[in-house]
Structure 1
Amino acid sequence: MTEADVVDIARRIHTRDVSLWPAAPEEQPIIGKRLGWLDAPDWLKKNREELTRWARDIYGQEFARVVVLGMGGSSLAARTLAGVFGKTEQGLPLVVLDTTHPEAIAVTAAAASLSETLFVSASKSGTTAEVTALTAYFYQQVKAERGRAAGENFVAITDAGSALQHYAEAHDFRRCFLNPADVGGRFSMLTAFGMVPAALLGLDLDRMFNSARAARVASEADTPDADQSALRLGQAMARSALAGRNKLTLLLSPQLGAFSAWVEQLIAESTGKSGIGIIPVIDESLPIGAYGMDRFFVAVTLTGDHTLDETLQALEAAGHEIDHHQLDDRYDLAGEFFRWEFAVAVAGALLAVNPFDEPDVVSSKQTTRRLLEGNKEEQANSIGEIRDDAGLTLRMPISLVDEDAGLSGQLLRFFQNASPTNYLTLMPFLYMTDDVQNALSELITALRAVLPLPVILNPGPRYLHSTGQLHKGGPNSGLYLIITASTDTMLPIPGEPYSFSDLNNAQASGDFLSLVALGRQVAHLDLGALTQQALAAVTAEVQLRWTESA
């Protein structure tokens, strides 16, 4: 492909030329209905003043906090903005609840008065299982305090005609924001899914619009001296992946750290299909010599922040390719969202994948539903199970099981199966307290010390709406360890015969079974009742027994 061909990709994206991406003729119109993100800056221009007025009215009510109930692209926008900006002086504190773990839900419910909480239920489809369950649960809890006025504590963001819109209208929600239907979830940051939380945080939507508009204008320009950083980033992503450097490692200024999870989803869910995929690696800091040559580095830093200067110089000296982009301030993150969306569209065209669908995520959802309906595991005969005296249980494809090895030995062997071109992902369906986070970090540190590959943390069920597409549809180079634990907290889901604990466990088991069916290298470790102690024991085994076997 010539330089002119690459530059022409930008023009074709803006003219909505759906033939850029692979699809059968009858499927190309579907791609055309997923390109509304190109107009997101216009949506923001049109709605910014009204959103700001609406949010100011909310500040004048008796709300003490905002809780966003969402998954994937519908919640990562809010999580990113809350993490990077926090609230302004006039804005409200905002937290995101994107889990089905009953302990996390109970703690969120108890953290502040429910009557003083504004809940934002966010789901493009309006049928996201987690959002449906969480909305029903919290509505019931608020109704117990406020009766028929409970709807005043709820706002919905969804597509027109969705089940969530109908629920919001039936329960007299304070507001239901209808998002443009032609904007996919992970591309929706600059529409209602991102800008409603931004307004509630008290952010300056004029500054966000100016940044987003500038990024779009830059992506449209095709003159030699134009800023083509979005086009170049997409080209570099695809070129590196095709050359075997498919592990995109993201380096950020500390103030931008919360941006990483949004980028992770955008890359993984957009490119991870048809056996192809770019593997995003975030929140990782290793000695320069520990990075393999299958890495491609992207750095996004704030002007004046020199935290990464030495690291970037050392990586360049070691022969690694780096794409470095600087932002003047945090508000330039709005333009950065657009830049990455455009870059992923470019990369999809060059990799010959459709970045606007997610064909493989449905398998886990279907298996989860079957388990909740009481159906037995279809692959039960192909799965081996090992238990130990401490109450831990390990499940794996039976072809990988050596019963004489014991649980610790079997888990160690699973890790040792990895090659330098692999990546290892830990997927905990746990209540992520600070102590549990620290225990997982210690395990990851121990694994990184002995494995010559990326070790990635993807909490569940959040990852099912993010990297889950890559796990199932991308290259078969991952090792996946799903981690669960028992809990005594039982929270019923209104209208369902099962609890949040049942749903959480079914989601973990459903994804495990889906990965087994696809022939992926996957294991499911249940820690029993003592989560932190069990994680510490696994870490100690990795440190001790790996040394013994070396």
Structure 2
Amino acid sequence: MSITFGDEAVAAEAAAAVRKLAEEGVPEALSRGDASLWGGEAESEARIRLGWLDLPTTSRELLPEISKLVERARAENLEHVVLAGMGGSSLAPEVICATSDVALTVLDTTDPGQVRRALADRLDRTILVVSSKSGSTVETDSHRRIYEQAFRDAGIDPADRIVVVTDPGSPLEQAAIESGYTVILADPNVGGRYSALTAFGLVPSALAGADIGRLLDQAAEVRPQLAGGEGNPGLELGAALGAAALAGRDKLVLEDSLSAINGLPDWIEQLIAESTGKQGKGILPVVGADPNEADDELVAGIDTEGGVQVDGPLGAQFLIWEYATAVAGRMLGINPFDQPNVAESKENTARILGDGGDGALPTGAPALVDGPVEVYGDLPADVKDLSGVFTALLEQIPDRGYLAILAFLDREAAFDVPVPPEASFEEITDIWAAHDPATLQGLLAFRTDHPVTFGWGPRYLHSTGQYHKGGPQNGVFLEITGAVEEDLQVPGRPYTLGRLQLAQALGDLDALRGRGRPVVRLHLTDRKAGVRHLLDAAREV
């Protein structure tokens, strides 16, 4: 594991910060789990959130139990592994499995189309992992209920197919025990976004076929270095992140184009955004966009050149980034283990669902309609079409600000688009991109010098959502929702997935508007045509 610097200014700032941190005894104190490092107000939380430091050792106790579970699944030919989990419960397994080139279907969505697609795929050979630290995550609870019903309708006992990963004492643990499900308990002294090497990361990854023992070995190899002031990659990385942010370079552009690790920036995004974005401070991770060479950016490369380059295997990367985030949090003067603003959008969602009863949700009237796209929000008087909306949003980004695109849609729908059998890989990629809402990020980023981020809702609510509301209030927000053609009832609940999805979008919209931020919601009355119209309009900006 190594940290190298491609930017002399970053190297100098990091070196000075490392010296100061070492003089203060931070690396040794953090390595032994000193909860006082982040101040008195954070100490009680930190005391029960530092178990991730010892996971390379303590998680080995889970390996025999997980091995038995894997053997049973193989013996029963349960080859389709579905993970129902949000945030820290899904992002790490997704990276582990993509890097290991093993298949894992991740449900971190309330989009009925995306859930229906998973249900239609080999239900007779499906094993479902329900992962929730709190045991009360509404998305995961909905997935569990839907799959329970689907299994019963297919004549399958859910107890034979559902595995629950949760914290000891959670309501999900009790419900799972009563239902006869296999339950594997995670370390309660590890927060969700630091849980990559706990049962949350290991159970679904092992079922999918990843070598989780090797992951722990990789983390264990770097663990002894974390107590020292020299040759400590976690300290060096954390010092670089913290020093850069304090110097105004608080936009962290994550690049991994040359890395054999697949998708790590998505996991880092949640870790850093949710850990540091509070009290008006924070580091904004930027994933999937090229650097602008702006003075508020720091480029971090995963096995790729950047202002700071982080090289090493996946298990070690998990531990080093967690350590670095804790160090950066101390430098910024915040508690890296809480998430004080996450509950707000959840509460708004519950209120909107309750207030709406069985009637229409409070969407309001569109400010304008452009083809298959309804536009909601306060717009300048001269805006008459969708390209004008994009232009107005870009112009509202303040100095050192950013634009966040938040899409409450099916993130896999573009891959359903038919492609010619003779098409090359490049042609297939172009076809998918032409139907993918995420393409909007690159189109708008090309037209501004400010960072443009992209998040799938409600997934982002468990990651960058904390930064949007608790971090520096310089964001501009573009939310995208879509009409639901075929909804899916959540058994035992008075709502469908589509209704929940829209309520989540409206709930976060209320939270952002309550902070006086510029927010526009685009509603696609026809999803396929709407996405194409969005992309065409962005090209006209």
Same fold (TM over 0.5): yes
Tell me, yes or no, if the aligned pair for 2:30 and 2:227 is still in contact at 8 Å. no
What does residue 502 of structure 1 align with?
A: 499
Please say if 1:285 is aligned against 2:290: yes
Q: Distance in 2 between matches of 1:218 and 1:205?
A: 22
Q: Which residue of 2 aligns with 1:152?
A: 160
What SS does the corresponding residue of 2:78 show, helix, strand or coil? coil
Letter in 1 for 2:131: A
Cα drift, residue 123 of structure 1: 0.2
Deviation at 1:388, TM superposition (A): 1.6
Question: What's the CA shift for 1:134?
Answer: 0.7
Q: Is the 8 A contact 2:372 2:529 kept in 1?
A: no
State the distance in 1 between where 2:288 and 2:262 align. 8
What's the counterpart of residue 533 of structure 2? 537
The CA deviation at 1:22 is 3.7
Once residues 3 and 103 of structure 1 are traced to their aligned partners in structure 2, the CA distance between those partners, rounded to angstroms, is 49
Aligned with 1:62 (options 55, 58, 77): 77
Q: 1:262 aligns with which of 261, 267, 276?
A: 267
Q: Secondary structure at the match of 1:488?
A: coil
Once residues 441 and 87 of structure 2 are traced to their aligned partners in structure 1, the CA distance between those partners, rounded to angstroms, is 24
Please report how far the alpha carbon of residue 325 of structure 1 lies from its aligned counterpart in structure 2 after TM superposition. 2.4
Distance across 2 between alignment mates of 1:179 and 1:257: 25
Kindly indicate whether the alpha-carbon contact (under 8 Å) linking 2:440 and 2:534 is maintained by their aligned counterparts in 1. Answer: yes
What corresponds to 2:402 in structure 1? 423
Aligned residue number for residue 10 of structure 2? none
Match of 1:295 in 2: 297
Q: CA deviation at 1:283?
A: 2.0
Displacement, 1:421?
A: 1.9
* CA–CA distance in structure 2, aligned partners of residues 500 and 444 of structure 1: 26
**Equivalent residue runs for 1:204-215 within 5 Å:** 204-215=211-222
> Among residues 188, 191, 195, which one is paired with 1:184 in the alignment?
191
In the TM superposition, what is the alpha-carbon distance from 1:407 to its structure 2 partner? 4.2
**CA–CA separation in structure 2 for the residues paired with 1:281 and 1:9:** 28
In 2, distance between residues paired with 1:195 and 1:96?
14
Give the structure 2 partner of residue 519 of structure 1.
Answer: 516
**8 A contact 2:259–2:302 mirrored in 1:** no
Question: Structure 1 residues 520 and 419 mapped into 2: Cα distance closer, same or farther (>3 Å)?
Answer: closer
How far apart, in 2, do the equivalents of 1:142 and 1:296 lie?
48
Deviation at 1:75, TM superposition (A): 0.8
- CA RMSD after TM alignment: 2.3
- Deviations 1:158-192, CA, capped at 9 Å, x for gaps: 0111111122112211x101111111000011110
Corresponding residue for 1:18? 35
- Normalising by structure 2, we get a TM-score of 0.88
Name the amino acid aligned to 1:169.
I
Contact 1:122–1:131, Cα closer than 8 Å, also in 2: yes
Tell me what 2:310 maps to: 325
How far does residue 375 in structure 1 lie from its aligned partner after superposition?
Answer: 5.2
Q: Check whether the contact 2:18–2:239 (CA below 8 A) recurs between aligned residues.
A: no
- TM-score between both structures, scaled by the size of structure 1: 0.87
Partner of 1:274: 279
Shift of 1:71: 0.3
The 8 Å contact of residues 250 and 298 in structure 1, kept in 2 or not, is answered as yes
Of 317, 326, 343, 1:345 maps to 326
For residue 489 of structure 1, give the secondary structure of its aligned residue in structure 2: coil
Query: Secondary structure of 1:28's match?
Result: helix
The CA deviation string for residues 250-282 of structure 1, in whole angstroms up to 9 with x for no partner, is 121343231111011001000000000101011
Q: What is residue 405 of structure 1 aligned with on the other side?
A: 383
Tell me if the contact between 1:272 and 1:474 (Cα under 8 Å) persists in the aligned partners: yes
**Do 1:485 and 1:526's aligned partners in 2 also have CA atoms closer than 8 Å?**
yes
Give deviations 1:494-535, integer Å, cap 9, x for gaps: 111110000000001110111001222221111212x23223
124 and 3 in structure 1: CA distance in 2 versus 1, 3 angstrom threshold:
closer
User: Per-residue displacement from partner, 1:44-71 (whole Å, max 9, x unpaired)?
Assistant: 2222244224312321112121000000
Change in CA separation of 1:176 and 1:540 when aligned onto 2, cut-off 3 Å: same
Asked if 2 retains the 8 angstrom alpha-carbon contact of 1:443 and 1:536, the reply is no
How far apart are 1:23 and its partner, in Å?
4.5
Contact 2:405 2:452 in 1 (8 A): yes
Map Cα deviations across residues 342-392 of structure 1 (whole Å, 9 max, x no partner): 00000001100100000001110000000110259xxx89x8841225242
**1:82 touches 1:95 (CA, 8 Å); kept in 2?**
no
Residue 180 of structure 1: SS of its match in structure 2? coil
Cα distance change of structure 1 residues 437 and 356 upon mapping to structure 2, 3 Å threshold: farther
| Alpha-carbon distance in 2 for matches of 1:2, 1:159 | 36
Change (3 A) 1:442 1:4: closer
**CA distance in 2 between partners of 1:162 and 1:274 (Å):** 29
Cα distance 1:539–1:23, how it changes in 2: closer, same or farther (>3 A)? farther
Q: How does 1:10-89 map to 2 (within 5 A)?
A: 10-24=27-41, 28-87=43-102
Give, in whole Å, the separation in 1 of the partners of 2:17 and 2:197. 32
8 A contact 1:247–1:280 mirrored in 2: yes
1:141 matched residue in structure 2: 150
Could you tell me which residue of structure 2 aligns to residue 221 of structure 1? 228
Q: Percent same amino acid among aligned pairs? A: 33
Is contact 1:420–1:452 with CA below 8 Å preserved after alignment?
no
8 Å contact 1:292–1:452 — kept in the other structure? yes
Cα–Cα, structure 1 residues 447 and 358, in superposed 2: closer, same or farther, change >3 Å?
same
Alignment of 1:104-143 (within 5 A): 104-112=114-122, 114-143=123-152
Task: Provide Cα deviations, 1:116-171, integer angstroms capped at 9, x if missing partner.
Answer: 10000000000000000110111111012235x22110000001111111221122
Greater RCO, CA 8 A, separation 6+: 2
Question: What's the CA shift for 1:446?
Answer: 2.2
Aligned residues: 502
Query: How has the CA–CA distance of structure 1 residues 523 and 285 changed in structure 2, closer, same or farther, with 3 Å as cutoff?
Result: same
